[in-house]
Amino acid sequence: MSARARLRAIATSVPIIVLAALGLRVGYTISQTQKIPPEVLRAVPYLYEPGNIAYSIAQGHGFGSPFRADTGPTAWTAPIYPYIVAGFFKIFGIYSYHAFLAAISLNMLCSALACVPLYYAGKRIGGLGVGAGAAWLWAAFPNAIIIPFQWIWDTSISTLLAATILWATIELAESSQVRDWIGYGLLWGVTLMTNPTLASLLPLLLGWLAWRASRAIRAPQETRQWIKNVAISAVVVGLCCVPWTIRNYIVFHAFVPTRSALGFQLWIGNNEHYSDRWAVWKDPLDDQDERDKYVAMGEMAYMAEKRREAIEFMLTHPQWEARTISRRFVATWMGSATPIGDFVETHSFVIRGLLVSNLLAGIGALGGIFVLCRKRSVYAFPVSVFPIVYPFAEYLAQALLRYRHPIDPIVMLLTAVAIAELWRSVAPRRMRSDYS
């Protein structure tokens, strides 16, 4: 092989990209664990709802108590991730340093493995160069390196699930096998029991699959088959939610198919206490009075009240809402509602790097959407709905890079599409043919 061919083979090798991604994440983790005392790492990262619920499970008290106090059963979060963390507690010890290492190792592994579905989805959409480019961008994206260490949450697992959903959707469009559609439903079922926010994409992607199937119909029996396949996937998704829904109905006498905290999430970003970011001091996790109110009312009544208060506040403060939503839009894609001021004032190279890289990622995603739409790509819709639809929950409630992170692999894919199109327009023809 020529040197160029060897270099191309290395640059487009999935195992090499995954190993590079894992190496970057492990390297960052090692550097951080050398700076932060083990006594801090084995406790502080768990002081949020998933860690507190995992503690309750590991203690034998069941799925409950999300606020570092014995408040009884909960449906505050979806069940899968707290049970995973509880498993680490059982194996390595509650609030132990080894349990922390196990949790962030899972995060790093899931984050690195997201390169695989991203590579194959990109390859299907734009060729080998786009697939490999998207995977490399994700491997080196600062958010993807930092977040697996910073958050013991479902965030990193969600990136793998979101990237896999995109890949599966693209591949499923050409399959009539019932088992594939069942597998797609199972994938979505696991996703909803991990990160219910991704549910906003389910009807859109299923609708696109139905449209693709209808366009390929050549005989009446094929019509019945694609309707049957779409229905099978939808039923499987629903069945995956049934056990958790039954548990919640028995415990709370209410219909909660995924999680109960959506009303609270809306309220915490839309109330009279809200400042530039969010009303942390009114979170039951930190505020004793709010926690006492939660216990006295019960979770379902508390959530219903917060939902009513949030909607009333939004309807009676339209100008405030418009201004705040615009600030959240900027914060979602930049990491700060005031990125220019923060860039100038901070002395941290890491923060400046995050601000710049997220700005470029947002521009890249917009460029990728434009390219796919201009070329009338059949894949424009399923790829674009991730950055267009998914962040709406952040615009209405809270805007953090961690909340956007599950769709960041798709943002990298769109950026790769934009870069590839730019490369084709400026590079010599011979170089384009070598890397297309």
Give the pLDDT confidence of 336-386 residue by residue, as tens digits: 888 999 898 888 888 999 999 999 999 999 999 999 999 999 999 999 999
Give the pLDDT confidence of 292-316 residue by residue, as tens digits: 999 999 999 999 999 999 999 999 9
Which pair of structure tokens corresponds to residue 220?
Answer: 């009446």
- Please give the tally of structural domains in the chain: 1
Residue 279 scores a pLDDT above 50: no
DSSP 199: G
Of the candidates 275, 294, 296, which has an alpha carbon nearest to the alpha carbon of residue 283?
294
The chain-wide mean pLDDT, for the chain, equals 91
Give the pLDDT confidence of 133-184 residue by residue, as tens digits: 999 999 999 999 999 999 999 999 999 999 999 999 999 988 888 999 999 9
Give the pLDDT confidence of 387-432 residue by residue, as tens digits: 999 999 999 988 888 999 999 999 999 999 999 999 888 876 655 5
The b/e string for 48-79 (b: 16+ C-beta within 10 A; e otherwise) is bbbbbbbbbbbeeeebbbbbbeebebbbbbbb
**Of the listed ranges 21-25, 124-128, 168-172, 270-274, the one predicted with least confidence:** 270-274
Cβ contacts of 273 within 8 Å, gap of 6 or more: 279, 281, 282
The parent domain of residue 311 ranges over 3-435
Please state, for a pLDDT cut of 90, what percent of the chain lies above it.
75
Backbone angles phi, psi at 64, to 5 degrees: -170, -175
Give the pLDDT confidence of 70-119 residue by residue, as tens digits: 999 999 999 999 999 999 999 999 999 999 999 999 999 999 999 999 99
Sign of CA dihedral 267, 273, 277, 282: negative
